[in-house]
Amino acid sequence: MKKILFAVLLSLVVSHPFCIAGEPLEDVKELGIVKSMLSAKVEIVDVRDIGSLYEVVLKDPAKGKKICYVTKDGAYLLFGGNLFDKNKVNLTQVRYAEVTKVDLSRIPLNDAIEIKRGNGAKKLIMFSDVECPFCRKAYDWLKNQTNYTLYVFLIPLDIHPKAAGKSVQILCAQNRETALENAQSDKDIGSEKCEAGEKMLAGHKAVAGEVGVEGTPLFLTDTGARITGFNTPNLENYLKN
């Protein structure tokens, strides 16, 4: 069904280059398919006219920004697909990287667990679940890198029921870096839960919600660009250039 819908959309792009008057954002908001299919919690933050389609940037309070496409006649809405141009450029991916860049001035780095290696020149923010296997692999890989400062925000996922309690213990520790290291190695964390730790974890979750973290690990570079997952080539390229 998705392939059929995507084919229909591509045919519309090629064969029906019409447009309707007015502001694109307002036009999209008034389309029946948009009103019926999007949750009231989802905000339309930007719309671009790209020919026979509107490119729509959505913001979900719980999941961050997403991109979808809607035909101008309101007949079809494409959500979860990728749009390519004749040069095989993934326009959706390029645009997503643009709209999901994070303003680091809004990230309270003082609330994160700060780990400095070498001269600490490169700034790298990590959203991590202490029981996430790929977070642990990324954390271990970073031990062998140098000249960066890592800011860790703990984001326990529902699929790891012990992660929340461990996160609170880490944030209650006198030395949070050591406590994090112990947790990642399945050693005794060396601290108990405390009210201050609960509040700090709530703050970490709030930051993750603002950024739109859907899974871990997620990294942010010093430009606010995202590196999703344990993507060794992208991490290495960023740290060494």
DSSP per-residue codes, 13-37: HHH-----SS-HHHHHHH-HHHHHH
pLDDT digits (tens, 9 = 90+) for 38-51: 888 899 999 999 98
Rama region for 185: left / alpha / beta (φ>0; ψ in -120 to 50; rest)? alpha
Question: How are beta strands 148-154 and 122-128 bridged, if at all?
Answer: parallel
Nearest-angstrom CA–CA distance, 164 and 139: 18
pTM of the complete model:
0.74
Nearest-angstrom CA–CA distance, 167 and 201: 7
pLDDT digits (tens, 9 = 90+) for 197-222: 999 999 999 999 888 898 999 999 99
Under the banding of pLDDT at 50, 70 and 90, the label for residue 164 is very high
Q: What totals of helices (H) and strands (E) does the chain contain, helices first?
A: 9, 9
Task: Catalogue all structural domains in the chain, each as residue range(s) with its CATH number.
Answer: 2-99 (3.10.450.520), 104-240 (3.40.30.10)
Extract the tokens encoding 195.
Answer: 């009210």
Residue 194 CB neighbours (<10 A): 14
* Helix, strand, coil percent values for the chain (each to nearest 5): 40, 20, 35
Instruction: Examine the pLDDT at 126 and tell me if it is beyond 90.
Output: yes
Contacts of 193 (CB under 8 A, 6+ apart): 165, 168, 169, 172
Instruction: Examine the pLDDT at 58 and tell me if it is beyond 90.
Output: yes
Extract the tokens encoding 31.
Answer: 């389309």
Percent of the chain with pLDDT over 90: 72
Cα–Cα distances (Å) from 52 to 72, 149, 192, 219, in that order, read 6, 46, 59, 35
Using only C-alpha atoms, the chain has a radius of gyration, in whole angstroms, of 21
Spatial CA neighbour of 133 closest among 164, 160, 162, 170: 160
Least confident of 83-97, 107-121, 164-178: 83-97
Residue 46 CB neighbours (<10 A): 16
